Structure 1
Amino acid sequence: MPSLLSRCNILPIVLLASLGNCEIDRESIVRQFNLRLNQSHPYSPVQVGNGNFAFGVDVTGLQTFLPHNTLSSWGWHNSSLPTTPNQTSISDYTGVDWWTHGRLVNYAQPNPAEKDIGQWLISNPHRINLGRVGLWFGEKNVSEDALQRKSQVLDLWEGAIFSSFTLNGSRVEVETVASPESDTVAVEITSRLFKGGELGVFFDFPYASGKNKFDAPFVGIFNATANHTTALKARRHGATITHTLDATTYVADITWESDASIARVSNFSHRYVLKPARSEDTLTFTINFAPRTVERSGTFEDVKDNAVDWWSDYWSSGAFISLPTSSNSSAKELQRRIILSQYLLAVNGAGKDPAQESGLVNNGWYGKFHMEMVFWHLAHWTLWNKWSLYDRSVGVYERFLPTSYDRARHQGYQGARIGKMSDPTGRSAPGEINSLLIWQQPHPMYFAEMEYRKFPSKKTLKKWDRILSGVADFMVSYAWFNETTKVYDLGPPMYPVSENTNPNQTVNPTFELAYWRFGLDIAEKWQKRQNKPVPATWRNVRDNLAAFPVENDVYVLYEGIKNMWATPATAEDHPGLLGIYGWLPPGTRLNLTIFDKTVDKVYKSWNFTYSYGWDFPLLAMTMARLGNAEKAVDWLLDPNNKFNEVGMPVGGTRVPTPYFPASAGLLLAAGMMAGGWDGLEGPIFPKGWDVEVEGFSAAM
């Protein structure tokens, strides 16, 4: 069993002092993992940002040599609709009808007869790169290799990037920060190259790409200059550039503090150059991106001061964990991943919408987010007590409730059916997996229950009441009563968590059965807390769902699966069936003897080479609940679960780098091991580890 180590809760300073060395020196631990680089990374830019906006940079502290992306929550674009006969509007798409338990159900799936409009719906809207900002070296053709003494430091505690290099013997220093309140980058550049007119700053605006499912590492087309327009309106110490791409228009407002001038490079480009007066050796400016003209964003110092305050508060509030980094290499690597993941998720995964899988680094799935992945993007905030960040995007369930009701009604179900691959309007993109996946449905129950444990109030009950009722009504409507077995089945057609089975044969998958019971149980509790009657159908379906499928004394993916362990396609991808104990608390139907054998079978038979980044935290949570903290840490540091030197999780062969569900999953597992769960107090780490934790909430 794991050792139970020291636990330091967030307490008043006086009480902390009376407990001895309990308060963790957070700043020194965070700064221990400041990034120190001397070259650019194409797939892993260093970033500043605020969750709704991120600015990726190369080794110069800007986007000088590599066109890293400037992405936001609001920056989206629609391509022109197809002109194919009978496929000229969204209403021309009809989807596909599948037989489902004796009736035809319409699913939003690719239809060969409607290929063009179907693909348009998949790829639109797509997220756009708002613009590129880099150093201008006059007419000289300067490459990164020409720079000497390159150095770059990301100060995690302050959220600032400090970059420096020399060019032809002259030193250039660049400081880059982002506003915590707006889509603003603030930059200060110091160099004597300004005096010779050999240095300036360029701003370049690309056309939207929107044709590639994975638009990585760089987003946008910079040489399609005829497809869009930019217009410059200059003023004293500033300028506004209006960028129009078809029906999408936004502005970039630039403000500088010393004498300088800005002009378009040529009549046929969308590149502008800002040059300070030759009497200056310092240029400070801010650039604010917005869907419409907004107030000026203030000076460089204003933005920097706000950023320093926000980041120091971010690190100082909520939970924290200190691992024995000086004496244990595994602990040091785990601490590194935890700290860098906290920074990267605040930049990429704390916006008004749930994060896309690659955050605001590049575009995966056209920049859209996946509703089944909301759990892996948001659940960690609840254990780490970062509720203000969690609350930014969890409102997506209320916002999407009308479209969720429409989706269920269209298919002949009751209640609200949550979609999958979504844009900010709540429209789910067509796709066979998109329309047949179901494990996203109980997510609101998990979030609501964690929130109520922290804030047991009428406000919390009211916040989630309509959502849980609507989702529960769909869940019981979706379950099909099997007259032969006298139980309720889930599917077919459907895809389980692993998305690697035949949907027409997939029925009663293990994890989905457990999650369905869990969700309906929470929905019943919600009714009782409000003194409302519990619908009989909720209890009837929950209590009479099919049993977990078992074959040769181990749980299997779904009922009736043949040769699961000998078939590579079904013994790889997400090992979701282990989520029934670890990710989820143990339900009444769980047989621990069978589960232990299932864990052994997965370990022996699974092809983890093709597992995804959140699979390893899932495995870690399972091992922690089983009392094996050593193995839990091993899974978090598994060779197949790679985090690069910038702290970004490597996506692997199936998705682009980064793959942020791995980062959020890591924090979820670490938070569970730090705070424990119902019936077992944390921290729960390997024996001999000197661990201190502060401020964690317990998992269920």
Structure 2
Amino acid sequence: MTSWRLFAACSVVLFASPAPAQPIDREALVHRHTITLDEFHDDAPLAVGNGEFAFNFDVTGLQTFPSDAPGAVPLATMAQWAWHAFPESRGVAYEEALRDYSVHGRDISYATDRQSTAAQTLRANPHRINLGRIALRLTFAEGRQATRDDIQSPTQTLDLWTGEATSRFTFDGEPVTVRTVAHPTFDAIAVSVESPLVASGRAAIELRFSYPSGEWGPGLDDWKAPQRHTTTLATGQGGKRVARTLDETHYTVAVDTDAAVSTQETPHTIRLSSKTPRLDAVLRFNAGQEIPDDQLTAKQVCQASAEHWKAFWRRGGAIDLSASNDPRWRELERRIVLSQHLTAIHCAGSLPPQETGLVCNSWFGKHHLEMHWWHAAHFALWNRIDLLERSLGWYKEILPAARRIAERQGYAGVRWPKMTGPDGVSSPSDVGELLIWQQPHPIWFAELAYDADPSPATLDRYGPIVDATADFMADYAWYDEDRDQYVLGPLLVAAQESYSGLRGEVLNPTFEVAYWRWALRVAADWRERRGLPERPRWRAVADKIAPPTIRDGVYTAIETAPYTTREDHPSMLAALGVLPNVGLIDRGVMDRTLSDVQRDWDWPSTWGWDCPMAAMTAARLGRPNDAIDLLLRDTPKNGYLVNGHCRQADRLPVYLPANGGLLYAAAMMAAGWEDADPTVDAPGFPADGSWTVRHEGLRQAK
């Protein structure tokens, strides 16, 4: 019996609190949605990973046949720590991207000069990198290298319960089996290749390394610059090690294997080969120049993965829809299960993710903090608050950078950037620089953490973030004496970015004013919980924030003309959907607003989180049938591929905010929200017998 077959028998004993009556069979639930492919899916490759690291691969089980066709997903190896900056970006003056705007009688600077060389350089640096391409090298007897057309009868499964992918195919009449698995703690994958072709030297594992392209989007690699980076193979105490240098970025790859490891004539290429029919290897990526002395075996990685994923699925929440009569139950359940897997891989790391996770470089790989809510808030509702807290702590790390932004602009507290790298520096943008709806997010996250653990330790840990955030929010709001109200804007871009060309005229977006009230009141509660003196301006701004605008009986997106543009995000719905009722929203008006959006909106222009957002509003309004219809609405950016990803466009071939939004909405619809009728189970689902919702381990939404 091979070691890999032994791995499949690995099991873990978990100790938990007493199970409820008739608990959900979680293994059956997960196995219902095992992913199976029988052809290449350039738009939907599979991945293994752990939140800090991800390995994306094709139907061969490795990164053998990447496609550069428009819309294809790159086959990349990415880690949270893997960043690079071009040498020429050093010393670029941030001030060159700044532009002054007159706001309420004083000049405020924003980095909106997108045309300057400085702005373009600062946006593109630093950028995430592809750590390496790990592929099969398959050759015919006469030496010709295989193409994807030579791969016959492929079949691939990803067992979500254990995290192991198994890929089988035939090449040149011989069977090939590849098993792929990621370690849950280390940035490592284990690979096993079994085939008579391995022993004959016609199947091997090949590592190739590129220089980063530094581009926005799927194109991660520059294969035409071999002179700009170095790859060195050495043998150390722990075995074979590859040292990589890309300007000031250094990392190593530990190659733990009994196979032969050799450099090739092609630059930056390492080959692993074996004289036996099986080739096992563990490839472990490490930041910096240090080389680990210990070795990992494939057996250890497999066992650790199986234990990790079984524990993941057994803890936290679960939703079982299999007893439903509505034929859409299976698709919704599939989306829920696959989204849990994908967000655990791509959204549960120590840094806020990019929209495309550890797949490719939207926004050059930088974080986009207005989307952080959609990536990570759901972890709390699914009782996996630790996965949210991994990235929540990063806000404390960048407090100095965020404070410098606020100080430069003359505000108190800290102003969180929209697009930024690990250092918290706000990337120049004529839109992102002016967004404000990311500002309350850290308060929301901190409140979720407190709900999960209402202890002095939680208050101490996140209190400085809450205080600094609220200080800015209260100072940013402008007191209009004539109205006796605090107003938001100008200068801002609303969550519905359709008005970005009118940024100097936009006032009081409906969602933002409601979010401002909610966050400032919660921040004031935190001061009381911590036994600290109140900051009166916080409650004053919250109490006198400008109310949302109503025209023709519905809420508008913004207070100023054109009031509502019927495209992009219908963000006014979030004011009673994402948010609880903060005392600004009339349910009847919001009910009419939802109907108006459903009836007449350019749905193809919406984004992946818009359907979950609207579903939350429908649920709170007591319209569960609409909630289901919205969650599963057939619109281009709400389609979920075979691997669970939600494609948006060629430049955004995956979009994790959709997955996170779906999970938040589904948990809310099943477990309810704070002011929902406690006697009604699953209040966001229809109660007409079409849906049977079994759920456990979920937390109520706000």
TM-score bracket, normalised by the shorter chain, equals over 0.9
CA distance in structure 1 between the aligned counterparts of 2:282 and 2:34, rounded to whole angstroms: 24
1:647 aligns with 2:644: yes
- The match for 2:603 among 585, 608, 613 is 608
Look up the SS of the partner of 2:310 in the other structure.
helix
The normalised TM-score by structure 2 is 0.92
What is residue 207 of structure 1 aligned with on the other side?
211
Residues 148-169 of structure 1: per-residue CA shift (max 9 Å, x gap): 2211110000000001111122
Residues 503-530 of structure 1: per-residue CA shift (max 9 Å, x gap): 0110111111100000111011111112
Contact 2:49–2:184, Cα closer than 8 Å, also in 1: yes
Q: CA deviation at 1:88?
A: 5.2
Residues 672-693 of structure 1: per-residue CA shift (max 9 Å, x gap): 0111111324423123112110
1:56 aligns with 2:52: no
Moved more, 523-532 or 177-186: 523-532
1:453 aligns with 2:477: no
Residues 356-400 of structure 1: per-residue CA shift (max 9 Å, x gap): 100111111101111111111111001000122112111122112
Q: CA deviation at 1:601?
A: 2.0
The one-letter amino acid paired with 2:56 is G
What is residue 33 of structure 1 aligned with on the other side?
33
Written as runs of structure 1 = structure 2, the 5 A alignment for 1:113-132 is 115-132=116-133
What is residue 530 of structure 1 aligned with on the other side?
530
- CA distance change for structure 1 residues 530 and 13 in 2, over 3 Å: closer, same or farther? closer
1:72 aligns with 2:75: no
- CA distance change for structure 1 residues 427 and 698 in 2, over 3 Å: closer, same or farther? same
What is residue 263 of structure 2 aligned with on the other side?
264
- CA distance change for structure 1 residues 435 and 91 in 2, over 3 Å: closer, same or farther? closer
Q: CA deviation at 1:404?
A: 1.3
CA distance in structure 2 between the aligned counterparts of 1:236 and 1:37, rounded to whole angstroms: 40
Written as runs of structure 1 = structure 2, the 5 A alignment for 1:591-670 is 591-640=586-635, 641-652=638-649, 655-670=651-666
- The match for 1:589 among 575, 584, 600 is 584
Residues 31-68 of structure 1: per-residue CA shift (max 9 Å, x gap): 11111111222232110100110001111101111261
- The match for 2:575 among 575, 580, 588 is 580
CA distance in structure 1 between the aligned counterparts of 2:460 and 2:93, rounded to whole angstroms: 35
CA distance in structure 1 between the aligned counterparts of 2:527 and 2:152, rounded to whole angstroms: 66
**Which contiguous aligned blocks of 4+ residues in structure 1 show a shift greater than 3 angstroms?**
10-15, 234-238, 325-328
CA distance in structure 2 between the aligned counterparts of 1:329 and 1:207, rounded to whole angstroms: 49
The one-letter amino acid paired with 1:602 is V
- CA distance change for structure 1 residues 650 and 11 in 2, over 3 Å: closer, same or farther? same
The normalised TM-score by structure 1 is 0.92
Q: CA deviation at 1:325?
A: 6.1
1:103 aligns with 2:106: yes
Look up the SS of the partner of 1:395 in the other structure.
helix
The one-letter amino acid paired with 2:627 is A
Residues 133-179 of structure 1: per-residue CA shift (max 9 Å, x gap): 11112432211221222111100000000011111221111110000
Q: CA RMSD in A?
A: 1.9
CA distance in structure 2 between the aligned counterparts of 1:613 and 1:241, rounded to whole angstroms: 40
- CA distance change for structure 1 residues 325 and 162 in 2, over 3 Å: closer, same or farther? farther
CA distance in structure 2 between the aligned counterparts of 1:56 and 1:548, rounded to whole angstroms: 45
- CA distance change for structure 1 residues 30 and 522 in 2, over 3 Å: closer, same or farther? same
CA distance in structure 2 between the aligned counterparts of 1:319 and 1:173, rounded to whole angstroms: 34
Q: CA deviation at 1:328?
A: 3.4
Written as runs of structure 1 = structure 2, the 5 A alignment for 1:311-322 is 311-322=309-320
1:306 aligns with 2:304: yes
Written as runs of structure 1 = structure 2, the 5 A alignment for 1:346-365 is 346-365=344-363
CA distance in structure 2 between the aligned counterparts of 1:625 and 1:209, rounded to whole angstroms: 46
Moved more, 240-249 or 92-101: 92-101
CA distance in structure 2 between the aligned counterparts of 1:609 and 1:167, rounded to whole angstroms: 42
What is residue 291 of structure 1 aligned with on the other side?
287
What is residue 430 of structure 1 aligned with on the other side?
428
CA distance in structure 2 between the aligned counterparts of 1:692 and 1:124, rounded to whole angstroms: 47
Look up the SS of the partner of 1:339 in the other structure.
helix
What is residue 4 of structure 2 aligned with on the other side?
none
Q: CA deviation at 1:462?
A: 1.2
Structure 2: gaps of 5 or more residues: 1-13, 67-73
What is residue 443 of structure 1 aligned with on the other side?
441
Contact 1:581–1:625, Cα closer than 8 Å, also in 2: yes
1:193 aligns with 2:197: yes
Q: CA deviation at 1:213?
A: 1.7
CA distance in structure 2 between the aligned counterparts of 1:325 and 1:433, rounded to whole angstroms: 46
- CA distance change for structure 1 residues 172 and 111 in 2, over 3 Å: closer, same or farther? closer
Q: CA deviation at 1:531?
A: 2.4
What is residue 3 of structure 1 aligned with on the other side?
none
Q: CA deviation at 1:547?
A: 1.7
Contact 1:39–1:58, Cα closer than 8 Å, also in 2: no
Q: CA deviation at 1:551?
A: 1.7
The one-letter amino acid paired with 1:134 is A
Moved more, 128-137 or 479-488: 479-488
CA distance in structure 1 between the aligned counterparts of 2:389 and 2:349, rounded to whole angstroms: 9
CA distance in structure 1 between the aligned counterparts of 2:431 and 2:94, rounded to whole angstroms: 22
- CA distance change for structure 1 residues 32 and 249 in 2, over 3 Å: closer, same or farther? same
For this pair of structures, how many residues does the alignment match?
667
Contact 2:97–2:118, Cα closer than 8 Å, also in 1: no
Q: CA deviation at 1:223?
A: 3.1
CA distance in structure 2 between the aligned counterparts of 1:492 and 1:295, rounded to whole angstroms: 57
CA distance in structure 2 between the aligned counterparts of 1:480 and 1:13, rounded to whole angstroms: 51
- Structure with higher RCO (Cα < 8 A, 6+ apart): 1
- CA distance change for structure 1 residues 658 and 94 in 2, over 3 Å: closer, same or farther? closer
Contact 1:184–1:297, Cα closer than 8 Å, also in 2: no
The one-letter amino acid paired with 1:411 is Q
Q: CA deviation at 1:313?
A: 0.1
1:166 aligns with 2:170: yes
What is residue 682 of structure 2 aligned with on the other side?
683
Contact 1:95–1:111, Cα closer than 8 Å, also in 2: no
Q: CA deviation at 1:552?
A: 2.2
CA distance in structure 2 between the aligned counterparts of 1:397 and 1:69, rounded to whole angstroms: 27
Moved more, 97-106 or 223-232: 223-232
The one-letter amino acid paired with 1:446 is W
1:179 aligns with 2:183: yes
Written as runs of structure 1 = structure 2, the 5 A alignment for 1:215-234 is 216=218, 218-234=219-235
What is residue 7 of structure 1 aligned with on the other side?
none
Contact 1:549–1:558, Cα closer than 8 Å, also in 2: yes
What is residue 9 of structure 2 aligned with on the other side?
none
CA distance in structure 2 between the aligned counterparts of 1:520 and 1:508, rounded to whole angstroms: 16
- CA distance change for structure 1 residues 382 and 111 in 2, over 3 Å: closer, same or farther? closer
- CA distance change for structure 1 residues 393 and 237 in 2, over 3 Å: closer, same or farther? closer
Look up the SS of the partner of 1:329 in the other structure.
coil
- CA distance change for structure 1 residues 199 and 15 in 2, over 3 Å: closer, same or farther? closer
Look up the SS of the partner of 1:618 in the other structure.
helix
Moved more, 308-317 or 441-450: 441-450
Contact 2:231–2:245, Cα closer than 8 Å, also in 1: yes
Written as runs of structure 1 = structure 2, the 5 A alignment for 1:455-494 is 455-494=453-492
Contact 1:59–1:151, Cα closer than 8 Å, also in 2: yes
Q: CA deviation at 1:337?
A: 0.4
Look up the SS of the partner of 2:211 in the other structure.
coil
Q: CA deviation at 1:560?
A: 2.5
What is residue 44 of structure 1 aligned with on the other side?
44
- CA distance change for structure 1 residues 111 and 669 in 2, over 3 Å: closer, same or farther? closer
Structure 1: gaps of 5 or more residues: 1-9
Residues 426-470 of structure 1: per-residue CA shift (max 9 Å, x gap): 111011222111011111221222222221111111122111111
Q: CA deviation at 1:532?
A: 2.0
The one-letter amino acid paired with 2:174 is S
CA distance in structure 2 between the aligned counterparts of 1:364 and 1:606, rounded to whole angstroms: 27
CA distance in structure 1 between the aligned counterparts of 2:628 and 2:293, rounded to whole angstroms: 48
Contact 1:325–1:335, Cα closer than 8 Å, also in 2: no
CA distance in structure 1 between the aligned counterparts of 2:240 and 2:472, rounded to whole angstroms: 52
